[in-house]
Copies of this chain bind each other. A is one copy, B any other.
């Protein structure tokens, strides 16, 4: 899937869909365009609210295609709807601010090395892993008034 990675390291969402043999339609462009505008991770509901002219089902269907294509990461936050973020690098992990809900990403070779050493301890074949680090981000550390975006 090295095909559609642009300079910044982020994946072109429209191309990711096209690579899977999906048509380039107005609704899909609206969804991918909106996602690319967002800096933060987002929920399906976020997109539906931002794109009232795109049917809810189409938003969900497009997100699913993007996750299947590996262009989006699904982040099952502990409560509420899962969030999604653009997969900017091939394999990475996420930081989630527990104050404001901001999602960041990082890569650390040691994590992968640990995985290899775990292989001995685990009773089966490792086929993947997921890791999230919960933080209080710098912005929230400096701001006593931060409000948790993801609360409901």
A residues touching B (Cβ–Cβ < 8 Å)?
Answer: 1-3, 74, 76-78, 82, 95, 97-98, 104, 106, 108, 110-111, 114-115, 117-118, 120-138, 140-141
Contact = CB atoms under 8 A, between A and B. Distances in A.
A146 B95 CA distance: 35
13 contacts: A1-B121, A3-B122, A76-B76, A97-B124, A106-B121, A108-B117, A110-B118, A111-B114, A123-B137, A124-B135, A125-B136, A127-B136, A130-B132
Contacts of A127: 98, 134-136
Report which residue of A77, A124, A132, A134 has the largest number of chain B beta carbons within 10 angstroms of its beta carbon: A124
Contacts of A77: 76
A4 to B, nearest CB: 9
Contacts of A123: 1, 104, 137-138
A117 B110 CA distance: 9
A134 B128 contact: yes
A124 B106 contact: no
Given A77-B76, A78-B76, A124-B97, A118 B133 contact: yes
A122 B74 contact: no
The 6 closest A-B pairs by CB, nearest first: A76-B76, A128-B134, A1-B123, A124-B137, A124-B135, A2-B121
